[in-house]
Amino acid sequence: MTKIAVVGTGANGAGIGADMARNGLDVTFIEQWPAHVEAIRERGIEVRMPAGRTEITPVRAFHLCDVATLRETFDLVFVGVKAYDTRWACELIKPLLHEKSLVVGLQNGMSIDDVADVVGIDRTMGAVIELASNMWEPGITNRQNPPEDSWYAVGSISPATHGREEEVAAALRFAGTVEISDDIRSSKWMKLIVNAAELVPSALLNLELNTAAEVPGMYEFMMACGKEAARAALADGNRLRPIFGMEGALLDDPDAFAEQLFEIVLTKYSLPDTKTTSLQDWLKGRRSEVAEINGLVVDVLTRAGEAAPFNQLVVDLARKVESGELPADPANLELLLTGVPVR
């Protein structure tokens, strides 16, 4: 049987890993929150979904400090830590890989290259995920999109792994719909387009995603961030391509395509109480992935000789929030809308 490790079992990682374990796969959780590990060991991982649906699944769980005691190797490793933690997480698990192991980053941003740098491109598989979840108590993940409403894409970045996508897809299908992408870098950039629009901008207002998008002027600001990200994707050598199983994608119009993506997230993947992962991070006192998302947009467009004023403003304000200079608050709307006039 394929041996699977999930490194980083926060809200998404725990829910996905639980789906695999519940369906009979050999799954091991490796997690940095001590209380979370102990709760899972005591009572299993509890996944709460809409309409009162709850599933509790026993699963092996280890602390980071336990990894050095493990003597097994894993065939598949899913990395669920924050994008900025990718490198150390991959270094941690690297001794437990064999020559044919595959490491898959289930993260926002373009962490695929960080994975490849550490474990080797021939052991790296790219992935995109779309689901909303949150975690506030150890051992419990609140999954707002159950498996039937979750979406994934898997793709190779090396000829050595072409044809092995199904090894990853077969496991992920227990957690949602899976597509095989023939251009996973572009697919990941498409997700980054919508992440640039939604995650940190809504968090700056300390509001749920849909609520933030309904604030006068905010939808336009968020879309301006997404449109800059679409230009960055193209400037970085990628192509616009459908994700989320979308039909009728406007691939010849980057601005319209960015808006299509955002509308899908708002209407299909977000509930009225959905807080973005960035807002969850701030509420827990952690830093967000603003550098890996909005900051990347700025960096790519700067190298291309273009400006990204909307994403730059998001980066600047997020840094103030994370340094304690500025609270995340609806009052920040004025800073967003006056800092860069929305076109």
Which pLDDT belongs to residue 339?
84
Question: How many CB atoms within 10 Å of residue 326?
Answer: 17
Q: What is the pLDDT of residues 30-49, one digit of tens each?
A: 999 999 999 999 999 999 99
Are 196 and 324 part of one and the same domain? Answer: yes
The domain boundary residue, chosen from 167, 182, 197: 182
Q: Is the dihedral of CA 188, 242, 223, 10 positive or negative?
A: negative
Residues of the chain with pLDDT under 50: none
Distances (CA, A) of 44 to 24, 63, 106, 234, 313: 15, 15, 22, 44, 42
Contact 271, 50 (CB under 8 A): yes
Question: Which residue, 127, 161, 182, sits at the end of a domain?
Answer: 182
Are residues 140 and 264 located together in one domain of the fold?
Answer: no
Q: Are residues 209 and 314 in the same domain?
A: yes
Query: Are 168 and 231 in a shared domain?
Result: no
**Domain with 304 in it:** 186-339
Same domain flag for 317 and 196: yes
pLDDT tens column, 231-242: 999 999 999 999
pTM reported for the whole predicted model: 0.96
Distance, CA of 54 to CA of 161 (rounded, Å): 36
Helices (H), the chain: 11-22, 34-43, 86-93, 112-119, 165-172, 184-204, 209-214, 218-235, 254-264, 277-283, 294-303, 309-323, 332-339
Last residue of a domain, one of 127, 149, 182: 182
The verdict on 200 and 223 lying in the same domain is yes
For the chain, how many structural domains are there in total?
Answer: 2
In a shared domain, residues 310 and 194: yes
Q: What is the pLDDT of residue 341?
A: 63
> Is 277 found in the same domain as 252?
yes
Residues 130 and 251 in one domain: no
Q: Are residues 127 and 271 in the same domain?
A: no
